[in-house]
Each structure stands twice: as structure tokens, then as C-alpha cells.
Amino acid sequence: MSAMKKIEEVTVKDDEPMSRHTSWRAGGVARHYVQAQSLTALASYIAALDKDEDILWLGLGSNLLVRDGGFDGTVIATQGVMTQLAIVDESGIDDATVYVGAGIASAKLARFCSKHGLVGAEFFAGIPGLVGGALAMNAGAFGGETWSLVIEVETMNRQGEIKRRAASEFEYGYRSVKGLADEWFVSATLRLKKKPVAGNTVDIKQLLAKRAASQPTGVASCGSVFWNPEGHYAAQLIENCQLKGKRIGGAVVSQKHANFIINDNDATAEDIESLILLVQKTVKDETGILLHPEVKIVGNSRSGDSQR
């Protein structure tokens, strides 16, 4: 069992199983797992950490695999903090700006904008994570991408300082964001269009129904495992290689959508990572195309390989 202690509005659990906090429901323990009651408390805690401590910010764990040997560092749980969500300027004729904390669920942001007559954030309903994670990887769904809406962000550095950064300070593309080292997203300000008086807008329920029809839901997965290579769909490449239903241990390639790997029967992180590598190798051997994982893989294997 993990040990737990309280430090000035911060709860720290030692040796916390990350299988409890990732959507794959697999993986080893984190040496320290931190939950703060406020951003101020979290900033103070991070500032006091050793400068060489490995830090991993965690949202809903929907795009993360922690190897079975665990994460030898500090995991920062962002759910429950950084939860501000408000319209900050709607004086424009055609658009408005929204301030959203990194700890807000992406689906909640989509519903908030729709409720307030703002258009452009509907795609967030299809992202199974928090806004912080969406910012970190330029997450997208249904043809929309996070950074197409970003005006500026707030970040926290290792000294616990909050910095305001313009979107222009970052390089972003398909499922990637390059920014400043050792800074983590705290919030974002987004520009959205106001709903026109006449004309239909995208219906969130219809988008979710479309996703449920084509993707496995209600199962232990991370969502899409691989980026789509330019000019191709990862799922189609995997399916063409006859890999639907391919299994290693408790991990299996979904029969419904080939770009999903499911924890079907108490899979270990090693089962899942081995299946990822097998899919990569098979697709590369048969098509010449190398698939790149969207999922972040961290920690040590049972044999003691170093973290990455």
C-alpha cells in the first residue's frame, strides 16, 4: 500500500500504483504522487523539490503508459486544481475570449462554450483528458486542434513562478508542441467565434454519437495510440496489415478500431508496450511507413531500464 502524508494543503502518496490513475489501468508505482488543494500550494511544493527531481504532470491519464518498474520521481495530479473557466471578454462583434484552467476536462470546456453560444470548441468533447494535456500535445478531434484557438497561456516553472506566454512563443503542429523547457501549462486564453443568429452549428451529441459508432468506448484504452502519418490513417495501415485482434498477454488491438489497444485481461504495461512495438514493426516491414505513438511512455521496465 502507498504511504500518505499531508504537507501544507498538499497530499503526498509514496509508492502510488499508477494503474489507478491511467485509462489503460496498467503500470507501476510512482515514488511520489502529489495532490494539491490550490495552485499556490502546488507552486510552493514544486519550488521546494530538488532541481534534479523528475516531474510528471498528470491529467486523466488518458494518453500515458507508466512502465511496470514505476516512475522514479514526482507525479503532479492536476485534476481538482486549476479549474477556472470563464468568458473574459465578449465585447467583440464576432468573437469572444475564454479563460480555462489546465485542470478542466476538455469535454466540460466544449459544453461550456456551447452553452454560452460560442463556436469552435466542440471538438474538445472528443478529447478524453484535461485541457492541460490538450495544450501539451495539441490534441485534436473531429478535425479541430487545440492550438488553433490559443491566444496565450500561463505556465509554471520549477521555481513555482507563473509566467504568461503568447501563443507565438511556441511551435505547434500535428499533435506536437515545442515550447520552453521545465514549464508546465496552468491555463489558456482561447478565442472563439460567437454563434451566428441564423444557421446550424456543430452538435456535440452528434459528434459523440459518431465517435461511439466508430471507436471502442467503455473499455480500458488510451484512445488513439499512433499519430496519423501524412497522407495516411494509422488505423487503416494497421488493419491492412491484418493486426486487428492481435494480442500480447492481456493487451489486444481493437476489432472495432485498429488504432486502439485495449487492456482486455489484466494487461501489464509490458504487454501494452510490446504490442505497440509489434504493430510499429509490422506496419514498417509491410508498408515502409513508421508509425509514431501519440501515447507518452515513461518509467522503468521491470529489468531496470532508465526512464524516458
3-state secondary structure the chain: CCEEEECCCEEEEEEEEHHHCCCCCCCCEEEEEEEECCHHHHHHHHHHCCCCCCEEEECCCCCEEECCCCEEEEEEECCCCCCCEEEEECCCCCEEEEEEECCCEHHHHHHHHHHCCEECCHHHHHCCCEHHHHHHHCCEECCEEHHHCEEEEEEEECCCCEEEEEHHHCEEECCEEECCCCEEEEEEEEEEEECCCCCCCCCHHHHHHHHHHHCCCCCCCCCCCECCCCCCCHHHHHHHCCCCCCEECCEEECCCCCCCEEECCCCCHHHHHHHHHHHHHHHHHHHCCCCCECCEEECCCCCCCCCC
State how far the Cα of 124 lies from the Cα of 141, in Å rounded to an integer: 7
Q: Which residues carry out catalysis?
A: 175, 224, 294
State how far the Cα of 124 lies from the Cα of 112, in Å rounded to an integer: 11
Helix (H, G, I), strand (E, B) or coil at 160: coil
What distances in angstroms separate CA 6 from CA 41, 45, 159, 255, one per listed residue?
12, 11, 21, 45
Nearest to 210 by CA among 134, 118, 125: 125
